[in-house]
Amino acid sequence: MGGIRLGNIGNNSGFTLLDSDYSTLVEESPDPILVHDLTGKIVYCNLAAAGLLGYTGEKLDLNVVDIVPPSELKRIADRRKKRVSGLDDIHAYETLIQKRGGAPIPVYIRSKPITIMDGQRCIQLNIRNITDLREKEKELRESQERLIQFMEGSIEGFVLLDSDLRLLEANSVWLEQANASFDYAKGKHITEILPRLEETGRLDVYETVLKTGESHEFSHVIPTSGGDVWFNIKVFKVGENIGVITNDITEQMAYEQKLHSLHSNASDLARVNNINEIAEITENTLFGVIGFTRGSFGLVEGDKLVHRYRWGFNSSDPFILELDGSGITVEAINSQKTILVNDVSKNQSYITAEAETEILSELCVPIFVRNEPIALLNIESTEKDAFTSSDQELVEILASHISAAMYRLQAEDVKLELLNQMKQINEELSRSNTDLENYTYIISHDLKAPLRSIKSFSSFLEEDYGSSLDSEALEYLNRIVAAVTRMDDLISDLLTVSRIGRKFMDEESVDLNELLDEILADLSATIKEKSVLVQKDDLPTILTQKVWIRQLFTNLISNGIKFNDSNEPTLNIQYSKADDFHLFKIQDNGIGISSEYHERIFNLFERLHTVDEYPGTGAGLAICKKIVDNFGGKIWVESEGSGDGSVFCFTFPVFD
Ligand code: ADP
């Protein structure tokens, strides 16, 4: 046996202290074991114990008092006294033992009485070194202390609970939140110091955190006589204990609730039709969300601030202030800033319309549209400090809703006014157009009759008296007839122009291939005479007013032939269709048109040549333009200039 025996360390000779099985067991135990007699003299010590005490392979002549630090001696003596009187007890206790050289070791000792082989009664000490355990406990204690110190400086409440959820520590913020003293709260179960945890099922959170070590966070409301108090609670594990951080979020919750009801009230502002509705919603919102003794909604009108809508005043008549005068509301408009006064009696700018007022707080928020202050919200209270900075924020949010509503109303007013103006101008324009067309029609129609008389009487003159007139008189007569004929042509064209759009024809399905054949047949004499080569694409059948489409093609084709001095005149009629319009092109290789005239030639009676050069009245293209306009299309010319030919293009919207 390798145990250390009294006076005989590491030596197997001498008496057998313990029976052999037991001694083997003791010998090999990793736990230090010592045996001492009733005087405290150590009679046996296993290797683990020798190692713990710092002795190896030497003689041990020790008493237990030698391995106990002086601080523990009294306790040892007391315990020994008890031991002597009641040997049969088993004791377990924590103490310190003295290592060789003096370092104390924290140990856990279990002592029990034994009888050794020679019948001597002794005490066996099973020792466990708890240095590591103590270190850890110390570290934990220190870290908890640090945590508590840290939390003491925090604005959040902090509580440390033991694993039975009883309060170990609390910082002053928490004590204030719980309205409790530390002495009262210490040792109390969490359910006693934080109400409604069980009812709301939140106690489970603490159990879960204890079990899993995972942190949890939840909101908790506690009804009090002063209203609901809201907490945000974070629960987390600190060693074997539980840390709880509590945040009073009552104000924040109240703000959020106010903000929510403000937004839902203010959403009606998006649908208002006039300023009265804005004022009504504003009053209800301000009263419901913030509350006030009296208030007003003022509008900037010229150089005045007119408090048009007044709530809670003796009189609801508008109250008018000059913008260059004084007063908090005027000041808010001029400075373009919110003004919050917590005690108006101390504010120089404060003036009141009613002398008997007991108003103490006032909040003025200007409303801007396009960066201009155009209105003002004003609320007042008989209490000091009635409005907080979060009330100010809420009223400013309301002001921005009102601003959007006023902007919309202004924009709608402007739009409506513009629309009205446009409608009026359009009506006037179409009235004068119709008048003009009517006059033109009537005048040209009425001019036709005397013209016919001149024409008839001129031919009677020539027929009946022609033989008696000399050649000069005959020449004059011819000139009269020619002038009358030209005037007749002009008047006919004028009549045509005034008829387009005025004279509505039924629409019919027109096969443009057939129509073009008819037109070319009508013009066949000229085509033959000038040997014009006409080519054309396959044309569509469209729903249209046949008379006018015939006129359009006739005018353009005859111009293409007329203004063409080429030896081999050609006419090319092209067609293509886009998604929503038909496009026609009538191309000739004639005299062309320089670009400066491309627009002018569509004016009535606008011509680029004399009648002697090319006959005509100058109304053909104006007629074409009016027809195309009436059909909802466009007409234009493309030409590089004189000698290069022209392409007349026009479109019709696709209806079929
Ligand atoms: P008119 O043919 O009676 O002169 P229009 O209104 O048809 O009147 O044409 C106006 C003017 O546009 C013409 O006088 C002519 O100068 C020019 N013009 C029209 N069509 C052509 C064309 N195909 N080629 C060259 N010039 C043209």
Sequence-ordered list of residues with C-beta below 8 angstroms from that of 307, at least 6 positions apart, any chain? 296, 297, 298, 318, 319, 320, 321, 329, 376, 378
607 lines ligand 1 (CB under 6 A): yes
How many angstroms is it from 563 CA to the middle of ligand 1?
A: 7
Does the CB atom of residue 563 touch ligand 1 within 6 A? Answer: yes
Distance between the two ends of the chain, CA-based, in angstroms? 120
Residue 12's pLDDT band, with cuts at 50, 70 and 90, is very low
Mean pLDDT of 231-258: 90
d(CA 583, CA 51): 113
- Grade residue 656 by pLDDT with cuts at 50, 70 and 90: low
Percent of the chain with pLDDT over 70: 91
- Are the C-beta atoms of residues 8 and 54 closer than 8 Å to each other? no
Cβ neighbour number for residue 367 with a 10 Å cutoff: 27
Pocket test for ligand 1, best of 554, 556, 563 (most atoms within 8 A of CB): 563
Buried b (16+ CB within 10 A) or exposed e, 371-407: eebbbbbbbbbeeeebbeeebbebbebbbebbbebbe
Please spell the DSSP secondary structure of 270-297, one letter per residue: GG--SHHHHHHHHHHHIIIII--SEEEE
Q: In the predicted model, is pLDDT for residue 79 greater than 80?
A: no
Query: 505-547 pLDDT, tens per residue?
Result: 678 899 999 999 999 999 999 999 999 999 999 999 998 889 8
Give the lowest-confidence range in 19-23, 149-153, 198-202, 306-310.
19-23
476 to 192, 396, 461: CA distances (angstroms)? 131, 91, 12
Task: Give me the long-range contacts of 60-63 (CB less than 8 A, separation at least 24).
Answer: 60/4, 60/6, 60/7, 60/9, 61/6, 61/7, 63/36, 63/39
Alpha carbon distance 37, 6 (integer Å) = 11
Task: Find the 486 Cα to ligand 1 centroid distance in Å.
Answer: 17
> What tens digit of pLDDT does each residue of 346-391 get?
766 665 444 446 888 999 999 999 889 999 999 999 998 999 999 9
The residue to which tokens 């007044």 are assigned: 310
Confidence label for 591 from pLDDT (cuts 50, 70 and 90) = very high
- Closest C-alpha residue for ligand 1 atom 11: 607
Q: How far apart are CA 151 and CA 129, in angstroms?
A: 35
Q: Which residue has the tokens 């109400």?
A: 195
Q: What average pLDDT does this structure show over 144-161? A: 83
- Provide the pLDDT for residue 78: 77
Distance (Å, whole) CA 476 – CA 462:
11
* Higher-pLDDT residue of 359, 655: 359
- CA neighbor of 233 nearest in space, from 245, 250, 248: 245
User: How would residue 291 be classed by pLDDT, with cut points 50, 70 and 90?
Assistant: very high
Structure tokens given for 633: 């299309």
User: pLDDT value at position 3?
Assistant: 44
The amino acid present at 625, given as its one-letter code, is K
pLDDT average, residue stretch 249-260: 89
As a whole number, mean pLDDT of residues 139-168 equals 85
510 lines ligand 1 (CB under 6 A): no
Q: What is the mean pLDDT of residues 226-244?
A: 89
Q: Is the pLDDT confidence value at 8 over 60?
A: no
Does the beta carbon of 40 sit less than 6 angstroms from any atom of ligand 1?
Answer: no
- Tens of pLDDT, residue by residue over 415-454, are 899 999 999 999 888 887 787 777 888 887 888 888 888 9
Centre of ligand 1 to C-alpha 239, Å, is: 104
Q: What's residue 11's pLDDT?
A: 32
Banded model confidence at residue 226, pLDDT cuts 50, 70, 90: confident
Inform me whether the pLDDT recorded for 279 exceeds 60.
yes
Comparing CA positions, the residue from 254, 200, 240, 255 lying closest to residue 222 is 200
Cα–Cα distance for residue pair 98/42, rounded to 1 Å? 14
**Ligand 1 close to Cβ of residue 376 (< 6 A):** no
559 C-alpha to center of ligand 1: Å?
6
Q: Which of 34-48, 308-322, 572-586 bottoms out in mean pLDDT, i.e. has the lowest? A: 34-48
For residue 607, the ligand 1 atom closest to its alpha carbon is 14
Instruction: Determine which residue's CA is closest to atom 7 belonging to ligand 1.
Output: 620
- Report whether residue 593 contacts ligand 1, using a CB cutoff of 6 Å: yes
Alpha carbon nearest to ligand 1 atom 12, residue: 601
Average pLDDT across the chain, whole number? 86
Distance CA 66, CA 64 (A): 5
* Mean pLDDT computed over 118-140: 84
* Alpha helices per DSSP H over 54-96: 70-85
Q: Is residue 236 packed enough to be buried (19+ CB in 10 Å), middle (13-18) or exposed (0-12)?
A: middle
Contact 18, 116 (CB under 8 A): yes
Binned at pLDDT 50, 70 and 90, residue 58 comes out as low
Give the model's pLDDT for residue 15.
Answer: 33
Measured from the Cβ of residue 129, the count of other Cβ atoms closer than 10 Å reads 16
Ligand 1 mean position to 618 CA, how many Å?
7
Q: Ligand 1 test: best mutation among 532, 595, 621, most atoms within 8 Å of CB?
A: 621
Give the three-state DSSP class for 231.
Answer: strand
Residues 457-466 pLDDT 10s:
988 988 899 8
C-beta of 69 in contact with ligand 1 (< 6 A): no
Closest among 238, 186, 183, 194 to 219, alpha carbons compared: 194
**Is the pLDDT assigned to residue 266 strictly greater than 60?**
yes
Q: What pLDDT score was predicted for residue 185?
A: 93
Is any ligand 1 atom within 6 A of the Cβ of residue 624?
A: no
Is 620 a pocket residue for ligand 1 (Cβ < 6 Å)? yes
Distance of CA 457 from the midpoint of ligand 1 (Å): 33
- Please list the residues that pair with 217 across neighbouring strands: 234
Beta bridge partners, 474, equal none
pTM of the model: 0.48
